[in-house]
Amino acid sequence: MGNYYLPKSRARDDRYMVSVEAYKHYHREGYLIVKGLLSTSDVAELYELAEQSRIQSLKQDAAADPDSKDPLKEEFAKATRIHMLSRQNAAAERGMLHPRIVDVTEALIGPDVLALQSMMFLNPPGKGGQGWHQDACYIKTHPDTLIGAWIALEEADEENGCLWVVPCSNHEPIYPPDGVGGGNVHALDAFRDLHAVQNVSHIDDEVNTLSKVVANYPPAIPVPLSPGDVLFFHSHLFHRSYPNRTTDRFRRSYVCHYCNARSWVPWDHDGYEGDSGNYRQILARGATHLPYSEPSFGTEVYLSDGEEAANSVTMMGMDNGMMMPMGMKKEEE
């Protein structure tokens, strides 16, 4: 028998298996909701991290403004998100490399998966929200394989500012933001009629002109989620969130980005030296011929050895027009 593709992840009791329908839904509609992907204890660890980060930032601000008398007001003034905790904290790294999240990304964009970015959202009452945008506009991967995983750490609904998506908009190219030389369009000069957009991510649709392209679609849909549910979304999908309209609830979520580990990644959160930032990103599954980083806090990842990665089926044409795997032919000889 010849060499065939071997699954990249070791068998695990808690391995999440993606259905064919789910795979098709993701590629057709640009998103996939996986209910209950993370356990209560996984969510509790990330929720605790969000709380610690919030309290820490409160302390820092209290020190900066010792005259402040109103802790609630001060709290509302906090940043709504913290980037790249996964490079500073073991729990954040575990969250980003969670095997069940990587199981899904392996099926959707893998088999080889690079973990790139993590963002902890706090979104206190009255805060947060990000207008229409496409994630690949911000993080370039060649080939373009970026995917986001939005992990709910508490109930996220329309009131506290859940995500909204435009189904099927993942088939759009990236619209280049005005004034930055084409942004991250994968083949800028190859389009006849691709136009620039202004103020992408601005919360006001009058100002953010990507909203005019969004208007070509049926109305966007909200994605309410419960703790442990994960929304996977394509990096070309039009999506947004609104400010938290509640007076008494936060909207904590952990959002991570991944790409196929064979993609060249001319991006890193805080810069890089050389041609690409691949060497700063963690190989979360499989193998790659490109540089990569290992987990800093010892989180276990399931990688393939070099020999396994090299295995593949080589096909040869037969006289009758059929294709025959080379390995099988060799065996018959």
Ligand X SMILES: O=C(O)CCC(=O)C(=O)O
CA-to-CA distance for 39 and 119, rounded, in angstroms? 20
Q: Are 134 and 235 in contact (CB under 8 A)?
A: yes
Let me know: does 288 contact 282? Beta carbons within 8 Å: no
Q: Residue 200 or residue 303: which is nearer to ligand X going by CB?
A: 200
Q: How far is the CB of 101 from ligand X (least distance, A)?
A: 14
Q: Which residues contact 314 (CB under 8 A, 6 or more apart)?
A: 2, 325, 326, 327
Site for ligand X contains 184 (CB under 6 A): no
Q: 112 or 135, CB closer to ligand X?
A: 135
Q: Please report whether residue 130 would count as binding ligand X according to CB under 6 A.
A: yes
Nearer to ligand X, 111 or 131 (CB): 131
Q: Looking at beta carbons only, is 251 or 280 nearer to ligand X?
A: 251
Place of tokens 């902890």: 120
The two structure tokens encoding residue 252? 């904590």
Which residues in 45-75 are b (16+ Cβ under 10 Å) and which e?
Answer: bbbebbeebbeeeeeebeeeeeeeeeeeeeb
Region of 97-105, 127-135, 273-281, 292-300 interacting with ligand X (CB under 6 A):
127-135
Please compute Rg for the chain using Cα positions.
22
Interacting positions 229-248 with ligand X (CB under 6 A): 239, 241
Give the nearest distance from C-beta 225 to ligand X in angstroms: 11
Piece of 40-48, 61-69, 128-136, 268-276 that binds ligand X (CB under 6 A): 128-136
**Minimal CB distance to ligand X: which residue?**
241
The answer to whether residues 126 and 248 touch, using CB atoms and an 8 Å cutoff, is no
Q: Tell which residue, 256, 282, 254, 280, has the closest CA to residue 267.
A: 280
Closer residue to ligand X, CB minimum distance, 83 or 171: 83
| # residues contacting ligand X (CB under 6 A) | 10
For residues 108 and 287, which CB has a smaller minimum distance to ligand X in the complex? 108
The residue from 29, 112, 135, 172 that contacts ligand X (CB under 6 A) is 135
Among 30, 110, 128, 131, binds ligand X (CB under 6 A): 128
Distance CA 82, CA 161 (A): 17
Placement of tokens 């695990």 in the chain = 12
Ranges within 62-101 binding ligand X (CB under 6 A): none
Residue 148 is a binding residue for ligand X (CB under 6 A): yes
Helices (H), the chain: 20-29, 40-64, 71-76, 90-96, 99-109, 210-214, 306-310, 326-332
Q: Report the residue number, 111 or 128, with the smaller CB distance to ligand X.
A: 128
Number of Cβ within 10 Å of residue 292's Cβ equals 20
Binding characters for ligand X, 99-118, by CB under 6 A (x = yes): --------------------
CB of 253 to ligand X, least distance (A): 6
**How many residues in the chain?**
333
Shortest reach from residue 30's CB to ligand X, in Å = 13
**Distance in Å, CB of 99 to ligand X, minimum:** 21
208 vs 241, beta carbon nearer ligand X: 241
Quick check: helix, strand or coil at residue 119?
A: strand
- Residues at the interface with ligand X (CB under 6 A): 121, 128, 130, 135, 148, 163, 239, 241, 253, 255
